[in-house]
Amino acid sequence: MINRDLIQFLITISIPFLLQKVLEYLRRRNSSSYNIHQNNQQKKHEPTRAEYSVTALLILTVLYHLYYLLISVPENIFSTLRVPLRTPTTQLKFLLGTASKRYTQPVIDTLSTKFASLENRYLYTTYGHEAFLDCIYCRDATDYFYYILPKITFSYVVMVAIMGLATMLRRKQDYRTYSVVFLVVCGAFDIYSYATLDLRLLISNSAISVDYYHYSTADFYRRLAFLGVSFAILILNRTDVRTEAEILLDLQRSQEYVIARLKGATLQRAAILRDTGLRKTFVDYYKRVEVEEGVIHSDPEYKKARAAALAKLNVENLTRDAELYVENLTKVRESEGISTHRERNDMYRAVATNSTLVGGGALSNENDIGGL
């Protein structure tokens, strides 16, 4: 069994070192730049009010559990008096009498009476000081277990709610599942440790040389788990949240992909029409399609709708919209000191090619089919 006092000591002496490392990490993260497209640099993320609120919530949660982990530990009179569980009753009563400054006289009298039984001492260290004194109907371990179960469950419910609020941000959404699963597993193991604990085995095992305080130990590791998951969510952020520049670059890549496909379709059509055999297959196919859909093509309403749809393919409007898109993209990239005159000309040529392919391709396709 790991000594919880040793863990508390290690955590206490490591706080300055951990704080220094966290500050260094935050400085590096704020000063570093992230690539968004080859040598492009992403704009520095400006925290929002929601992010400040979540950060404050997580910091308060960390400090709260750190306080109860290191300073306000669960009450345990045996740890306070530094005496073992099997201390003789007369000696224990005398030591309880010397603790009148810490405990009231009714509490001392109640503990002196109940601690005459060794089983009650183990009930006290297993289910806690408050449950042992406040539960008036508890008679055995099962009663005490059901008495403290809502308190343990509520602590995990509160932590799950805090994790849910903290991971509502886009930069922390990826960690919601991990944090909730971690808390659920810890809660299940925590409750399982109480449900399967056999007091009779602890009492009858005279080979135990070190007293085991289950309530204090479980509370310590529970707080440690809450502290760890809160601190992890506090420092972990997703750095691939897309900016406006990244969205525009994705649109540019999509447009380049469409242009490449249009060029491929144009080359394919030209190759088919040059080859005699392929041209015959091409002609036969469209003749068969024309025969199968002759009724639809000859319908006046269809012809009217088709003519209206083709009229909407205004090459001038397409070119003007594309130029506005390129201008917006160029402004964003120039603001980051990336765009060059050559890149701007390449984009204009791509837009011109796209416009020609969209307008001319549709018309040439219509001419090919109509001519055939």
Residues 98 and 226 in one domain: yes
Residues 171 and 292 in one domain: no
Residue 240's pLDDT is 56
Give just the sign of the alpha carbon dihedral 165, 171, 174, 175: negative
In a domain, 74, yes or no: yes
| Cβ-contact 241, 170 below 8 angstroms | yes
Helical H segments across the chain, by residue range: 4-31, 49-70, 77-81, 89-97, 105-114, 118-127, 129-134, 141-166, 176-195, 199-204, 214-235, 244-274, 276-292, 294-297, 300-311, 315-335, 341-371
Using CA atoms of 116, 76, 223, 160 in order, give the dihedral in degrees to the nearest 10.
50
Residues 193 and 269 in one domain: no
Domain final residue, candidates 216, 235, 254: 235
Residues 223 and 287 in one domain: no
Residue 61's pLDDT is 94
Angle at 317 between CA 311 and CA 323, to 5 degrees: 155
Domain final residue, candidates 178, 212, 235: 235
The answer on pLDDT for 223 being more than 80 is yes
Residues 278 and 225 in one domain: no
121-142 confidence digits (pLDDT tens) = 889 989 999 999 999 899 889 9
Determine the straight-line distance between the first and last CA of the chain, rounded to whole angstroms.
Answer: 87
Residue 185's pLDDT is 92
Residues 219 and 309 in one domain: no
Please state at what angle helix 176-195 crosses helix 141-166, rounded to 10 degrees.
170
Selection from 28, 25, 31 nearest residue 44 by Cα:
31
157-188 confidence digits (pLDDT tens) = 999 999 999 988 878 888 889 999 999 999 99
pTM of the model: 0.57
Give me 119's structure tokens: 């089983």
Residues 170 and 259 in one domain: no
Angle at 106 between CA 101 and CA 112, to 5 degrees: 90
Give the three-class secondary structure for 174: helix
Q: How many CA atoms lie within 13 A of 367 on its CB side?
A: 7
Per-residue pLDDT band at 359 (split at 50, 70, 90) = very low
Residues 168 and 260 in one domain: no
The domain in which residue 128 lies consists of 4-23+48-235
In a domain, 28, yes or no: no
In a domain, 37, yes or no: no
Average pLDDT, the chain: 77
Residue 152's pLDDT is 94
Domain final residue, candidates 204, 235, 266: 235
In a domain, 32, yes or no: no
61-109 confidence digits (pLDDT tens) = 999 999 998 888 888 888 888 888 888 888 888 888 777 677 788 888 8
Residues 68 and 191 in one domain: yes
In a domain, 29, yes or no: no
Report the C-alpha gap between 179 and 195 in whole angstroms. 24
In a domain, 296, yes or no: yes
Report the C-alpha gap between 368 and 206 in whole angstroms. 98
Residues 18 and 150 in one domain: yes
Residues 184 and 257 in one domain: no
In a domain, 145, yes or no: yes
Return the DSSP state at 173.
G
In a domain, 262, yes or no: yes
Residues 75 and 127 in one domain: yes
Residue 28: alpha-carbon gap to chain centroid: 22
Q: Would you tell me how many other CB atoms lie within 10 Å of the CB of residue 70?
A: 16
Tally of domains in the chain? 2
Mean pLDDT of 241-266: 80
| Cβ-contact 256, 325 below 8 angstroms | no
